[in-house]
Structure 1
Amino acid sequence: MRRGTTKGRSTPTRGRSGKARRWVHDLPARRRWSGCTAARPPYPTTGRFSKRTHPISSRARGSRRAGSNRYGRASRRTPQRAQLQTHSLAVNLPAVRHRSTSRERRQSGFPAPPTRLISATVLLAATGIAVAALIAYIHLRHQRDSAYTSFCNVGGVFDCDRVLTSSFSAVAGVPVAYLALIAYAGIAAMAVAARRTARPILAHGLVAGASACLVFSLYMAGISLFVLRAVCLLCSAWYLVAIATFAAVVAAALRWPRAPGRPPAVSPAALWGWIAAATVGVAALAAFTWPRGWLPAARHMSLEALRAMDPDFFDWYTSLPVVTPPAGGHLALGSPAAPVTIIEFSDFECAYCRQNHDLLKDLAARRPGQVGVYYRHFPLDASCNDAVRRTIHPRACRAAEAAECAAAQGRFAAMADALFEHQGELHEATFLRLAEQIGLDVAKFRRCMDEHQGLAKVVADARAGSELHVTSTPTLLINGRKVVGSLSRPGAYDVAVMIEAQSLGKAPR
């Protein structure tokens, strides 16, 4: 048996002379590693990962030989340690190669997506989430406090509160802002997932979500312009985000990479199909959730017919308390000889009061000679209303004085319309400008405002409302029947007027 071997196994190399170590290096390659006969080196001797390129043996370049350390001496690694390193390399090397994803994704059929467009989609979706969260906050404030006025009431047709407090601001009882939060969160999640892999299902999901947001935004924009006749600045930003998101998603879908021999991820036909599906879905949603009202064509109906039309509303309305309405007030709408009298305690700076004013204006136009609307002041301003502990609308008292100064010249109704229309800009300069627009004597009007000639009437109306336990605006007395808030459901005022017309003897005049 050769020196240095025992039954086919080489003797340990530690403590040996340089000659013994040289003999170990002269062994064949299959017996070179740590003196083990059956052990193989932890690297392939040929191929891509040879000992010249192996990460562990990269130090052994040049004159160094495998199995020696950095000082040229024999390695003291045991066969168990060598096998452990060999096993770890076999496990980790494929994982390292998998991180180079660009080439492998092209080979696997899911190439890299258009990164810039996907990043733009993520940014736009985040913007949509921020705008939706702000609108949801305003909507929640309006639900908790009817006297709340948002910051985006610029004046004129630019009135966010009128849009966000309308019956169209919720779908099946769920605020539209909450639905937008869910939609844009879904788009953002799919866009983030698409940054990792360009799977076709993600492209279809993004196109479907962006199409739904775009069509629904166009629907809400039409409601705002043609039904509510008001523009919400926050909602307009929302609509622009929906348009930009749709454009970015469509551009990304048309540039979506595809593997060789596979069809496009989203074809033009599929794109138009998603748009058509979104249109049909929004149309069906509008048909089932449109605020329904009676708006009966008949001017008079029996109490039995009115009860059969909507039993819940009939029972609720007829169960309201009846009080003796106070005398006085300015005729704002309708006829003074009408059988049904509506006394409204209102505030010119209240968004719900403006909405109710428009509803009563439409009611008086539909039923001429049947209803007369009288206006009484109840500003939520502690400077002229003793019943208010904390000022909510700081310009409401001056607006009420402006209306009284216009009433001194016989133009109360015109000034009331102008004040509600310019609700977001109730300042002294605005009062003078509106007085000139409705044809008042501006000098007389200015003197009335400077001398506070209408303040006594405003204080008297507020005290009359306090005696009737009015705590919020608007509060109405329909032939003495006390209604807290606005009957915003379409047709509700028509039914209330017909109920009062059929039961004149039961309600105080």
Structure 2
Amino acid sequence: MKKFMYLIIVCAILGAGLSALMLLDHYYPDAHARVISCGGGIADPCYAVSQSDFAAFLGVPVAAYGLFFYILIIFILLIADYAGGGYATVAWLFTAALAAAGLLADMALGAILVYMKSLCTICVFTYGINALIATLAALWYRSLRAERGAGIREITREILGFAMEPDRRAASSLFIVFIVLLFFAVFSTATILSVKTAAEKPGADDIMAMVNEFYSREPEARSLPARDLALGDEHAPVTIAVYTDFLCSACYKFYQVEKQVVARYRDNVRFTYYNFPLDRGCNEYIRHTKYQNSCFASRAFIAAARKGMFEEYLMKHFGAYGDIARRYTLDTALLIASSITDADAFLREIQSPRTDERLIEDLKLAESLAINATPTLFINGRRFEGVPPREVLFKIIEREAMAGGKK
């Protein structure tokens, strides 16, 4: 009998870990060190789910409910294992009830994933854990029935009689107190995280002020030339042209925002990149070099796009940004590419005259648009310099998508 308890405890520990991970992901979506991969491209479905309107219920993240659920199961089974006797039967009844509730919740959450068309692998892992807990609870019941020769009704009556014994009432009262304290601990932690992260975000008035300032500018670059350095549907109602230096620290910050945008609005947004390396080695329109060898990075990205691996190269480049930004060389570009394609062929593409031609075209276009900082964005033609707060960018995208007839 104890083997079922121990197996359920192991499952609940795994579930609690995943729930804690999803809770942090809900409040800190900018964290780039992800423990579990959730999708093979930049459009991370776990981002999409954790930041969606379905990620919270009654103002509390769904992940917090999951964390409470798993910790409660762990506590019940550990107490039963320690106390022995009739507590094992009590533990089974509570575990079975919680497992049934978990399966019902998973059915609703699974339907939401289907509706969102997002395969959140972390979410699916928790559904599998809950199904395994329910299966183990069913096997545990078979063991109890074989041992006691009684069904659920008899077991329930036995438990009620057990709970009414005078020397057991204190234990029952303490159990109820623990549930209340556990509920308070988990949900107060979620509230603290909510308050802390809210303080780090711009307020509603600030967001609207930035959005209104953006729309006070006239569109100035509606028809930029097409580029292979692009992400998203070419027919998307919102196009964001990004003038960037791929070694620029602010551009790296924008990449973190961009991942959330692609995950949240993948059918409505298209990003197109134009090179403006802040390196006098190839950019004669700047006074001083700010990011040494960023000309190599620009050529590498042009080469990656020509070889049809722009998105993968972009992810690997920024995934290693902290290690490569200050000591980037041509060898760095080749090392990144070697995990995707043949490095020699990639080098030939970097050194190709057409790669230089494309870089020169981007720089001349930047000069005509008076680009002097990276990143500089053109959102459906309107300029935005710097990294917009994600809340501001979300508002702009939603407004532009509505104007384009999509949601």
- TM-score (structure 2 length as normaliser): 0.53
2:204 is the counterpart of 1:319: no
2:71 is the counterpart of 1:185: yes
- In structure 1, what is the equivalent of residue 324 of structure 2? none
Of 259, 263, 278, 2:153 maps to 263
2:10 is the counterpart of 1:120: no
Shift of residue 363, structure 1, vs aligned partner: 2.6
SS at match of 1:343: strand
- Flag the structure with larger Rg: 1
Shift of residue 318, structure 1, vs aligned partner: 5.2
- In structure 1, what is the equivalent of residue 96 of structure 2? 207
Shift of residue 374, structure 1, vs aligned partner: 4.1
The residue correspondences of 1:199-238 to structure 2 (distance < 5 A) are 202-217=91-106, 219-220=108-109, 227-232=116-121, 234-238=122-126
- In structure 2, what is the equivalent of residue 343 of structure 1? 241
Unmatched tracts of structure 1, length 5 or more: 1-113, 268-310, 365-371, 436-441, 502-509
Aligned-residue identity in percent:
19
SS at match of 1:375: strand
- In structure 1, what is the equivalent of residue 181 of structure 2? none
Number of aligned residue pairs: give it: 308
Of 425, 428, 432, 2:341 maps to 432
For residues 37 and 347 of structure 2, what CA distance do their matches in structure 1 show? 26
Pick closer, same or farther for the CA change 1:142–1:324 going to 2, 3 Å: same
- In structure 2, what is the equivalent of residue 405 of structure 1? 303
- In structure 2, what is the equivalent of residue 243 of structure 1? 131
Pick closer, same or farther for the CA change 1:250–1:185 going to 2, 3 Å: same
- 1:196-231 CA-partner distances (Å, limit 9, x unpaired): 333765433212222233344455556557734445
The answer (yes or no) to whether the contact 1:342–1:476 under 8 Å persists in 2 is: yes
The residue correspondences of 1:436-451 to structure 2 (distance < 5 A) are 443=345, 446-449=347-350
SS at match of 1:193: helix
Higher helix share: 2
SS at match of 2:153: coil
The residue correspondences of 1:329-340 to structure 2 (distance < 5 A) are 330=226, 332=230, 334=234
What is the CA RMSD across the aligned residues, in angstroms? 5.7
SS at match of 2:241: strand
- Structure with more relative contact order (C-alpha pairs < 8 Å, separation 6 or more): 2
For residues 422 and 224 of structure 1, what CA distance do their matches in structure 2 show? 27
- 1:290-309 CA-partner distances (Å, limit 9, x unpaired): xxxxxxxxxxxxxxxxxxxx
The answer (yes or no) to whether the contact 2:241–2:272 under 8 Å persists in 1 is: yes
- In structure 1, what is the equivalent of residue 201 of structure 2? none
Shift of residue 141, structure 1, vs aligned partner: 4.0
Shift of residue 188, structure 1, vs aligned partner: 1.2
SS at match of 1:185: helix
For residues 117 and 370 of structure 2, what CA distance do their matches in structure 1 show? 30
Shift of residue 342, structure 1, vs aligned partner: 3.8
The residue correspondences of 1:263-282 to structure 2 (distance < 5 A) are 263-265=153-155
- In structure 2, what is the equivalent of residue 485 of structure 1? 390
The answer (yes or no) to whether the contact 1:200–1:265 under 8 Å persists in 2 is: yes
Residue 171 of structure 1 aligns with an amino acid whose one-letter code is A
Shift of residue 119, structure 1, vs aligned partner: 2.5
- In structure 2, what is the equivalent of residue 171 of structure 1? 56
For residues 27 and 370 of structure 2, what CA distance do their matches in structure 1 show? 27
For residues 431 and 249 of structure 1, what CA distance do their matches in structure 2 show? 46
Pick closer, same or farther for the CA change 1:345–1:202 going to 2, 3 Å: farther
- 1:109-152 CA-partner distances (Å, limit 9, x unpaired): xxxxx322122222322222233334444444425x5xx24243
For residues 121 and 156 of structure 1, what CA distance do their matches in structure 2 show? 31
Unmatched tracts of structure 2, length 5 or more: 158-203, 245-250, 321-334
- TM-score (structure 1 length as normaliser): 0.44
Shift of residue 428, structure 1, vs aligned partner: 0.7
Residue 52 of structure 2 aligns with an amino acid whose one-letter code is S
Shift of residue 461, structure 1, vs aligned partner: 9.8
For residues 488 and 254 of structure 1, what CA distance do their matches in structure 2 show? 55
The answer (yes or no) to whether the contact 1:341–1:374 under 8 Å persists in 2 is: yes
Shift of residue 236, structure 1, vs aligned partner: 4.6
- In structure 2, what is the equivalent of residue 71 of structure 1? none
2:87 is the counterpart of 1:194: no
SS at match of 1:264: helix
For residues 250 and 343 of structure 1, what CA distance do their matches in structure 2 show? 56
